[in-house]
């Protein structure tokens, strides 16, 4: 009988954490009876009654949690006498709160995503970067975005907040004013309406209102990657930056901030993408202009090769299995 693997997801919105779980789950099925416990993600769900039956059986069980509320729930089951190995992934690079640290210390193994996150955590952990479903996140020709009249698209995807650097990107995007067939599409949930107003003021200042589109977060993000020639990830901080890996897997030309999240591990500057200092408007402006004018080579093919060889969901699953069985 196969051992059981259960990933938890108790979150209403689809986030990078959600996609990372969905990407990797199918690659466990040969080795484990694999389930998803909770709500908000795609997978084979297990009801609480069946979960408890398995947890209190003699089967080998691994439960992998991703948020504090999930760890608390599983620790309660353990308090009641359930036997299982508890794994937790820390998805944020910030220094954890006292509560988070207390919960992580009660798990059997802690997974982090990048080196800087690992070093900041302060307790033993194993680094396993996220992987991309390279068959789903793949290039596709002749994809056009609804309601976008321009032929050429620059995409920025992720939460709309100051730490994600959209204000820097919009300042640099003033170069679009002379290239009316180019558009900038910003896709993501808006944290604060006041910040959106600030972004729109930048758009008005540079007279590019007809070339900038704000789109709410969508489950159909793949089509946005596939329609875009350039993807910019101007973040000041990232837990991992799954957007960068997904965009590269789709064959996009990616410009991302150096030494942020996994950017400098994923991207070799001028070889499979381009790196820019966080907050450097002039540097980003020059890269955008050179790309628009075809003065830089398009590195989408090299970007996809990097993800296939080193950052696929299958590779992530193999590395996680090593954690589960160690």
23-37 residue pLDDT tens: 999 999 999 999 999
Identify the band that residue 135 occupies on the pLDDT scale cut at 50, 70 and 90.
Answer: very high
Tell me, rounded to whole angstroms, the distance of Cα 210 from its chain centroid.
29
pLDDT at 219 over 90: no
Domain definitions of the chain by residue range: 4-131+312-325, 152-309
User: What mean pLDDT do residues 3-13 have?
Assistant: 96
Q: What is the pLDDT of residue 44?
A: 96
227-241 residue pLDDT tens: 999 999 999 999 899
Q: What is the pLDDT of residue 307?
A: 98
Q: What is the pLDDT of residue 13?
A: 86
pLDDT at 132 over 90: yes
Q: What is the pLDDT of residue 313?
A: 97
- CA nearest to 179, candidates 230, 252, 144: 230
User: Looking at the domain that runs over 4-131+312-325, which CATH code has it been given?
Assistant: 3.40.50.2000
**Percentage of residues in the chain with pLDDT exceeding 70?**
100
Q: What separation in angstroms does the CA of 171 have from each of 181, 201, 289?
A: 18, 10, 13
Sheet architecture: strand order including 61-65: 33-39, 4-10, 61-65, 85-89, 109-112, 126-127
* Annotation: CATH topology of 152-309: Rossmann fold (3.40.50)
Q: What is the pLDDT of residue 17?
A: 93
Q: Which two tokens stand for residue 42?
A: 């795609």
Q: Which two tokens stand for residue 154?
A: 């620059």
Which segments of the chain are extended strands (E)? 4-10, 33-39, 61-65, 85-89, 109-112, 126-127, 152-157, 182-187, 212-215, 230-233, 253-257, 274-276
72-121 residue pLDDT tens: 999 999 999 999 999 999 998 888 999 999 999 999 999 999 998 999 89
User: What mean pLDDT do residues 209-238 have?
Assistant: 95
Identify the band that residue 14 occupies on the pLDDT scale cut at 50, 70 and 90.
Answer: confident
Identify the band that residue 142 occupies on the pLDDT scale cut at 50, 70 and 90.
Answer: confident
Under 8 Å between Cβ of 223 and 185: no
User: What mean pLDDT do residues 211-221 have?
Assistant: 93
User: What mean pLDDT do residues 145-164 have?
Assistant: 94
Which string of DSSP letters, residue by residue, matches 84-133? -EEEEE----SPPPHHHHHHHHTSSEEEESSHHHHHHH-S--EE----B-
Q: Could you check whether 4-131+312-325 and 152-309 share the same CATH topology?
A: yes
In the block, tokens 């150096």 appear at: 258
Identify the band that residue 38 occupies on the pLDDT scale cut at 50, 70 and 90.
Answer: very high
Q: What is the pLDDT of residue 193?
A: 93
Q: How far apart are CA 299 and CA 302, in angstroms?
A: 5
Identify the band that residue 147 occupies on the pLDDT scale cut at 50, 70 and 90.
Answer: confident
| Angle separating helix axes 313-325 and 16-24, nearest 10 degrees | 80
Mean pLDDT of the chain: 96
């Amino acid at each position: 009988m196969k051992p059981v693997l259960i990933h938890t997801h108790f979150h209403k919105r689809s986030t990078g954490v959600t996609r990372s779980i969905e990407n990797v789950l199918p690659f466990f099925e040969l080795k484990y009876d694999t389930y998803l416990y909770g709500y908000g993600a795609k997978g084979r769900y297990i009801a609480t009654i069946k979960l408890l039956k398995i947890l209190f059986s003699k089967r080998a069980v691994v439960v992998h949690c991703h948020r504090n509320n999930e760890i608390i729930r599983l620790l309660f089951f353990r308090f009641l006498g359930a036997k299982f190995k508890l794994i937790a992934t820390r998805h944020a690079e910030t220094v954890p709160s006292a509560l988070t640290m207390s919960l992580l210390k009660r798990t059997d193994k802690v997974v982090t995503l990048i080196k800087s996150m690992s070093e900041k955590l302060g307790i033993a952990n194993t680094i396993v970067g996220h992987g991309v479903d390279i068959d789903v996140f793949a290039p596709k020709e002749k994809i056009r975005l609804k309601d976008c009249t321009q032929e050429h698209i620059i995409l920025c995807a992720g939460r709309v907040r100051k730490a994600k650097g959209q204000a820097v990107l919009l300042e640099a995007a003033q170069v679009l004013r002379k290239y009316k067939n180019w558009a900038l599409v910003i896709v993501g949930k808006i944290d604060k309406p006041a910040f959106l107003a600030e972004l729109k003021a930048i758009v008005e200042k540079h007279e590019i209102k007809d070339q900038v589109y704000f789109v709410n977060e969508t489950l159909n993000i793949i089509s946005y990657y596939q329609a875009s020639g350039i993807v910019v990830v101007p973040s000041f901080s990232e837990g991992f930056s799954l957007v960068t890996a997904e965009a590269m897997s789709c064959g996009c030309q990616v410009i991302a901030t150096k030494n942020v999240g996994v950017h400098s591990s994923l991207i070799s500057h001028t070889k499979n993408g381009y790196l820019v200092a966080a907050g450097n408007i002039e540097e980003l402006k020059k890269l955008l202009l050179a790309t628009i004018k075809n003065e830089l080579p398009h590195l989408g093919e090299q970007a996809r090769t990097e993800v296939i060889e080193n950052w696929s969901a299958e590779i992530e699953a193999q590395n996680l299995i090593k954690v589960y069985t160690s």
